[in-house]
Amino acid sequence: MTVETGIRPISGSRRAKDKIVQGLVYLAFALAVIPLVSVLWLVVKNGIGRFDLTFLTHSMRNIGARDAGGGAYHAIIGTLEQVLLASLIAVPVGLLTAVYLVEYSSGGRLARVISFFVDVMTGVPSVVSGLFILAFWVLVLGQGYSGFAGGLALSILMMPVVVRAAEEMLRLVPHELREASYALGVPKWRTIVKVVLPTAFTGIVTGVMLAVARVAGETAPLLLTVFITDSINTDPFSGPQMGLPLFVFDQAQRPNVTAVDRAWTGALTLILIVMLLNLVARLITWWRSPAKRGS
Amino acid sequence: MGRPAFRRSRGDGPFRFASTAAGVALLAIMAAIGVFLVVKAVPALQANTSHFLTELTWQPNATKPAFGIGALAFGTAMSSLLALIIATPVAIGVALFISHYAPRGLASVLGYIVDLLAAVPSVVYGLWGVTFLVPFVQGPWEFLNTYFGWIPLFGGDQVVGRSMLTAGLVLAIMILPIIAAISREVFLQAPKMQEEAALALGATRWEMIRMSVLPFGRPGVISAAMLGLGRAMGETIAVALIFPATFTISFRILGPNGNSIAANIANGFGEATPIGTGALIASGLVLFLITLLVNMGARFVIARRKEYARAAA
């Protein structure tokens, strides 16, 4: 015996519309993944051929236009130094700004203005940060092109990312921890340094790693501040350097197959470094996530 | 936050000062970017024998410098708009897929895959674009030209791979993750009660999304698209490798023309004279101001709605 519910099945046209939209949504996801797969596949396929010891340990010095061989050692050294310098500037400034926003400002006007401009700063085009350092550091102060100038340009791109990541993590620190510390008579700054920051530490490290990964692939600011060289320059404070993204850009513009092959291998190396940083960041989050610690 | 300890410690003052100073330093940097770009742009603008805002050609290195932002600004706007038109529908689809269609367990992994698109460096997209995409799209673009040539955008006698539409396509791929990520966060915050009410009344999934998720998410999606637009306009290296670097204004998006402010900076910097560098800095100032306006607009829309607080980051 069936109960008469009065509910009629969904009409055909409504059902069809629902299915069509579902199809479109699945299609959109597929469309988004296709370029990713294509890029990664081609980078691995075209890059693996020259991904050898010569590439990782030699520079482009005395390598002629048509010569095979040569490598990106100078570019790898440059990228590591530039990104390290950028982090040394951006991380303290970003972290302190986050501390101000979360711990010291009580939602006043200055805090809202800073918070708004941190968001706006994430949208500053990378080429503009390069032009700024070019105008300010290279031209007005006359400091010349150097790895350090590149680090300055990258640090501007890193700062807002670090602020946002650190701010989010500081806000997650339970208020009871701060209050317990105050109750024991610990001054505010020691509470922040000894209680709040250590609690948020892993989250902040993750955010910094993601910020580093973001700037490690930037080309435009380096082009304007570091310039381009084929030789090894281990001193980031004087003379032009190379960077891995610059190396790819430089080689990609040369009309020879050997150069384009080097560009692909440079791209592969760059993606490996960026993905490694991303992966390490995710692993740190996963390893020390609050859910896993059961709190 | 909260009242501090009863008695002030000697370390508190300096620490408070340092953190406030860091915040103020960020504001100072934003101001300094504007100031120093103006300082280095003015000499070049004074040497300019043509009108900066209307001139199309770019010859700042000549003995009688003549350059203008006209064609470059057009190229920047055109390629970014094409990117936005291509990316936004796909990004909304991706965001809905992850927020409302994908199985729960898989959603975060799939979201991470889309985020990976953003982790690929710009120069790699440029290399991929110029060696793979440019030859690859030649056929499809010719098809568009042959059968849809009556639409002015797709018309013209010449069809090349290194065209405005190809650059727009690469830009679309690059801004898709940011639009998708913000839209996703906004869609996830749509009121669950409304969604369940709609389903309980017998709505299909699409009807539920149309009635409760999309109206709630619309301002968020708009500001996400604006952030994407800002990103596309500032994107440099990928399009510098793809654009044929012409200085014309043409709506034939399949033809051999296209350039942008950012691409011109990357391509022209190497052989620039001091006046030439100043001219590039002047064009960069224009780019900075435009992206600043777009970004502030987008952030303003997000900031006005408290429900979006989490998505804004």
Q: What DSSP designation does A271 have?
A: H
Indicate the residue of A32, A119, A264 with minimum beta-carbon distance to B312. A119
Of the ranges A96-110, A277-291, B215-229, which one carries the lowest mean pLDDT score?
A277-291
Q: Which residue of B has its CA nearest to A262?
A: B127
Residues 52-91 of chain A with CB under 8 A from chain B are none
For range B191-197, the mean pLDDT: 91
Torsion of CA B284, A96, A79, A143, to 10 degrees: 60
Per-residue confidence (pLDDT) for residue A1, from 0 to 100? 52
Q: Say if the Cβ atoms of A131 and B284 lie within 8 Å.
A: yes
Q: Which residue of B has its CA nearest to A257?
A: B131
Indicate the residue of B27, B119, B180 with minimum beta-carbon distance to A275. B119
Q: Say if the Cβ atoms of B127 and A252 lie within 8 Å.
A: yes
CB pairs under 8 A between A and B: 303
For range B115-135, the mean pLDDT: 92
Contacts of B1 in chain A (CB under 8 A): 102-103, 106, 175, 178
Distance from CA of A105 to the nearest CA of B (A): 7
Q: Which residue of B has its CA nearest to A210?
A: B119
Residues 272-291 of chain A with CB under 8 A from chain B are 274-275, 278, 282
Give the Cα separation of A145 and A225 in Å (integer). 5
The separation between the first and the last C-alpha atoms of chain B, rounded to the nearest angstrom, is: 20
Q: Which are the contacts of B63, defined by CB distance < 8 A and separation ≥ 6?
A: none
Band of pLDDT at residue A4, cut at 50, 70 and 90: low
- Dig out the tokens for B269 from the structure: 């910097």
Q: Which residue of B has its CA nearest to A217?
A: B121
Per-residue confidence (pLDDT) for residue A130, from 0 to 100? 96
Query: Is the sign of the CA dihedral A151, A155, A161, A166 positive or negative?
Result: positive
pLDDT surpassing 90 at residue A97: yes
pLDDT surpassing 50 at residue A224: yes
pLDDT surpassing 90 at residue B123: yes
Per-residue confidence (pLDDT) for residue A3, from 0 to 100? 62
Alpha helices, DSSP H, located in A48-146:
53-57, 73-99, 109-122, 126-133
Q: Say if the Cβ atoms of A127 and B284 lie within 8 Å.
A: yes
> B67 pairs with which residues across the strands?
B58
pLDDT surpassing 70 at residue B313: no
Nearest Cα residue to B60 out of B245, B260, B273, B287: B273
Distance from CA of A106 to the nearest CA of B (A): 6
Of the ranges A167-181, B5-19, B112-126, B257-271, which one carries the lowest mean pLDDT score?
B5-19
Distance from CA of A184 to the nearest CA of B (A): 9
Distance from CA of B217 to the nearest CA of A (A): 16
Per-residue confidence (pLDDT) for residue A294, from 0 to 100? 43
Of residues B118 and A270, the one with the higher pLDDT is A270
Phi and psi angles of residue B255, each rounded to the nearest 5 degrees, phi first: -80, 175
Q: Say if the Cβ atoms of B284 and A128 lie within 8 Å.
A: yes
pLDDT surpassing 80 at residue B100: yes
Per-residue confidence (pLDDT) for residue B298, from 0 to 100? 87
Task: Determine what percent of chain A is predicted with pLDDT higher than 90.
Answer: 62
Per-residue confidence (pLDDT) for residue A2, from 0 to 100? 58
Per-residue confidence (pLDDT) for residue B106, from 0 to 100? 87
Supply angle C-alpha B227, B229, B234, rounded to 5.
Answer: 100
Q: Output helix, strand, coil percentages for chain A, rounded to the nearest 5.
A: 75, 0, 25
Phi and psi angles of residue B146, each rounded to the nearest 5 degrees, phi first: -70, -45
Cα distances (angstroms) measured from residue B95 to each of A21, A260, B87, B179: 13, 36, 12, 9
pLDDT surpassing 60 at residue B307: no
Per-residue confidence (pLDDT) for residue A268, from 0 to 100? 96
Task: Determine what percent of chain B is predicted with pLDDT higher than 70.
Answer: 94
Identify from B226, B236, B273 which residue to disrupt to test chain A contact, counting A C-beta atoms within 10 A and taking the largest count: B236
Give the Cα separation of A230 and B55 in Å (integer). 37
Supply angle C-alpha A283, A289, A293, rounded to 5.
Answer: 125
Band of pLDDT at residue A290, cut at 50, 70 and 90: low
Band of pLDDT at residue B301, cut at 50, 70 and 90: confident
For range A9-16, the mean pLDDT: 85
Q: Which are the contacts of A71, defined by CB distance < 8 A and separation ≥ 6?
A: A54, A55, A56, A57, A58, A59, A60, A262
pLDDT tens-digit readout, B250-284: 999 999 989 999 999 999 998 889 999 999 999 99
Contact, A97 vs B26, CB < 8 A? yes
Q: Which residue of B has its CA nearest to A181?
A: B5
Distance from CA of A93 to the nearest CA of B (A): 5
Give the Cα separation of A149 and A236 in Å (integer). 9
Secondary structure of residue A71 in the 3-state scheme: coil
Distance from CA of B12 to the nearest CA of A (A): 5
Q: What DSSP designation does B56 have?
A: -
- Dig out the tokens for A8 from the structure: 């009629």
Q: Say if the Cβ atoms of A33 and B234 lie within 8 Å.
A: no
For range A79-85, the mean pLDDT: 95
Query: How far does Cα B244 stand from its chain's mean position?
Result: 20
Give the Cα separation of A132 and A139 in Å (integer). 10
Residues 158-217 of chain A with CB under 8 A from chain B are 159-160, 163-164, 167-168, 175, 178-179, 182, 185-193, 213-214, 216-217
Give the Cα separation of A161 and A172 in Å (integer). 17
For range B125-136, the mean pLDDT: 95
Contacts of A104 in chain B (CB under 8 A): 16, 19-20
Give the number of other CB atoms < 10 A from CB of residue A231.
13
Band of pLDDT at residue B312, cut at 50, 70 and 90: very low
Contacts of B236 in chain A (CB under 8 A): 125-127, 219-220
Q: Which residue of A has its CA nearest to B262?
A: A127
Beta strands in A139-269 (DSSP E): none
pLDDT tens-digit readout, A114-154: 999 998 999 999 999 999 999 999 999 999 899 999 999 99
Distance from CA of B110 to the nearest CA of A (A): 9
Instruction: Indicate the helix (H) or strand (E) that contains A177.
Output: helix A175-183
Contact, B204 vs B198, CB < 8 A? no
ipTM: 0.89
Give the Cα separation of A20 and B140 in Å (integer). 25
Of the ranges A6-10, A168-172, B234-238, which one carries the lowest mean pLDDT score?
A6-10
For range B192-207, the mean pLDDT: 92
Task: Determine what percent of chain B is predicted with pLDDT higher than 90.
Answer: 68
Q: Inform me whether the C-beta atom of residue A3 falls under 8 Å from chain B C-beta atoms.
A: no
pLDDT surpassing 60 at residue B4: no
Cα distances (angstroms) measured from residue B61 to each of A1, A220, B66: 91, 21, 8
Of residues B188 and B11, the one with the higher pLDDT is B188
- Dig out the tokens for B195 from the structure: 């969604």
pLDDT tens-digit readout, B35-94: 999 999 999 999 999 999 988 989 998 888 999 999 999 999 999 999 999 999 999 999
Give the Cα separation of A276 and A261 in Å (integer). 22
Indicate the residue of B9, B132, B269 with minimum beta-carbon distance to A190. B9
pLDDT tens-digit readout, A31-79: 999 999 999 999 999 999 889 988 999 898 888 767 888 889 999 999 9
Per-residue confidence (pLDDT) for residue A61, from 0 to 100? 87
pLDDT surpassing 70 at residue A223: yes
Nearest Cα residue to B147 out of B159, B163, B136: B159
Phi and psi angles of residue B190, each rounded to the nearest 5 degrees, phi first: -60, 140
